Structure 1
Amino acid sequence: MAEIFVCPSAELSEGARKLVENGADQIGVIRASGALHAFSNICPHQGGPVCEGLLVHKVEEVIRADKTYQGMRFNEDELHIVCPWHGWEFNIETGRCAGDGRQSLRRYKVIERNEGIYVVV
């Protein structure tokens, strides 16, 4: 396995991202929820640049015990990245698609050491 240098740690603050090249593949590295995450920048839906999408908290419907709809809320415990082409959402921790758990983003291991960030390929 090889490592690709992404950037100095100080350059990737919470919510920030950096794209790096790995041959024909582009890898997005994102610092979110206090951790580093790396994914291939290809949405499994139609190949959109998923790592360039918005970071949003999971939207949940609020249903009372009597089954009446009460609206929607953001779940602050689950962060998603949203593909900018068609809105497919993926859990930032797992890379799994929120709407279809059979789909997921290709993940890469990220290492932070000596004030630098590296992706293992």
Structure 2
Amino acid sequence: MTEFRIGPADQIPEGGRLVVDCDGKEVGVFRVKGALHAWHNTCPHRQGPICQGRLYAQVIEPVAADGTTRLLAYDEDAQHIVCPWHGYEFDLQTGRCQGRPTQRLRPAQLREEAGIVYVRP
């Protein structure tokens, strides 16, 4: 399997991403909590371009003792991405779908050597 040179690791800032074409296969490389993660740019729901989705902290909904909710809050420790097609939400560190634990993003192999990032789709 072919390995592709993506470029300098420092071109992907904390909370940022870089989506690249690897000979017809798109891969998104994300930096979360200092670590790089690479995912195929295909949502497992309907194959939408997941890596172009909105990035944000995980939404949590605090529930009162009476079962009501009045606001949304965010868990800054869990960075998520939302598919632009149908709104499926995935954890960028684990690839797990927030609403459907059986669905997850497909990882791409990633390595960093001498400050350069390489992926193998």
1:120 Cα deviation (Å)?
A: 3.1
Stretches of structure 1 lacking an aligned partner (at least 5 in a row): none
Structural mapping, 1:71-110, within 5 Å? 71-110=71-110
Cα deviations across residues 42-62 of structure 1 (Å, max 9, x unaligned)? 111111110011111111111
Question: Following TM superposition, by how much is the alpha carbon of 1:69 offset from its aligned partner in structure 2, in angstroms?
Answer: 2.9
- Is residue 2:11 matched to residue 1:11? yes
TM-align CA RMSD:
1.7
**Aligned residue in 2 for 1:56:** 56
**Normalised TM-score (structure 2):** 0.88
Percent identity between the aligned chains? Answer: 43
* CA–CA distance in structure 1, aligned partners of residues 86 and 13 of structure 2: 27
Provide the rounded CA distance (Å) in 1 between the counterparts of 2:14 and 2:30.
8
Higher deviation after alignment, 88-97 or 71-80: 71-80
State how far apart, in whole Å, the 1-side matches of 2:24 and 2:59 are: 34
Number of aligned positions between the proteins: 121
User: Structure 2: where are the runs of 5+ without partners?
Assistant: none
The residue type equivalent to 1:32 in the other structure is: V
Amino acid at match of 1:82: V
Deviations 1:9-47 (A, max 9, x none): 221111222222233321111112211111110111111
Runs of 4+ in 1 over 6 A off after TM superposition: none
SS in 1 for 2:20: strand
